[in-house]
Amino acid sequence: MEIIWYHPSQDPQVWLAGLRQRLPAAHIRHWQPGDAAAADYAIVRSPPPAMLAGRALRGVFAMGAGVDEILRQLRDQPQLLADEVPLFRLEDTGMARQMQEYATWCVLGWFRRFAEYRQQQQQAQWQPLPDRDRQTFTVGVMGTGVLGRSVLESLRQWGFPLRGWSRTPKAIAGVETFHGREQLEAFLSGCQVVIDLLPDTPDTRNLINHHFLHTLPRGAHFLNLARGAHVVETDLLAALDSGQLAAAALDVFQVEPLPATSPLWLHPQVTITPHNAAVTLPQEAMDYIASAILSLEQGQMPSGRVDRQRGY
Q: Is 275 a catalytic residue?
A: yes
Under DSSP, the state recorded for 84 is: T
SS3 43: strand
**Domain residue spans of the chain:** 2-93+280-310, 95-272
pLDDT attached to residue 66: 84
Nearest-10 Cα torsion for 41, 43, 45, 47 = -30
Long-range CB contacts for residues 202-208, cutoff 8 Å, separation at least 24: 202/311, 203/167, 204/229, 204/230, 205/229, 205/230, 206/230, 206/231, 206/232, 208/232, 208/235, 208/236
Find out whether the peptide bond into 282 is cis, omega within 30 degrees of 0: no
CB 168 within 8 A of CB 144: no
DSSP for 275-310, please give it: S-SS---HHHHHHHHHHHHHHHHTT---TTB--TTT
Instruction: Give the C-alpha separation, 155 to 252, whole Å.
Output: 22
Burial of 144 (0-12, 13-18, 19+ CB in 10 A): buried
pLDDT attached to residue 310: 87
CA-to-CA dists, residue 288 to 45, 227, 294, angstroms: 16, 23, 10
CA-to-CA dists, residue 39 to 10, 55, 125, 260, angstroms: 21, 7, 65, 42
Instruction: Count other Cβ atoms within 10 Å, centred on residue 246.
Output: 20
Q: Which listed residue (22, 275, 305, 308) is catalytic?
A: 275
Q: Which listed residue (55, 163, 221, 227) is catalytic?
A: 227
CA-to-CA dists, residue 278 to 189, 259, 275, angstroms: 28, 21, 8
Instruction: Count other Cβ atoms within 10 Å, centred on residue 82.
Output: 10
Looking at the DSSP bridge assignments, the partners of residue 30 are 5
The secondary element (H helix, E strand) that includes residue 18 is: helix 12-22
* pTM of the predicted structure, to 2 decimals: 0.92
CB 98 within 8 A of CB 277: yes
Q: Which amino acid is at 119?
A: Q
Tell me the pLDDT of the chain (312 aa) as tens digits.
Answer: 999 999 999 999 999 999 999 999 999 999 999 999 999 999 999 999 999 998 999 999 999 988 988 998 999 998 899 999 999 999 989 999 999 999 999 999 999 999 999 999 999 999 999 999 999 999 999 999 999 999 999 999 999 999 999 999 999 999 999 999 999 999 999 999 999 999 999 999 999 999 999 999 999 999 999 999 999 999 999 999 999 999 999 999 999 999 999 999 999 999 999 999 999 999 999 999 999 999 999 999 999 999 998 888
Instruction: Give the C-alpha separation, 272 to 252, whole Å.
Output: 8
Q: Is 221 a catalytic residue?
A: no
Using alpha carbons only, what angle is made at residue 281 by residues 48 and 45, rounded to the nearest 5 degrees?
5
Nearest-10 Cα torsion for 141, 144, 145, 148 = 20
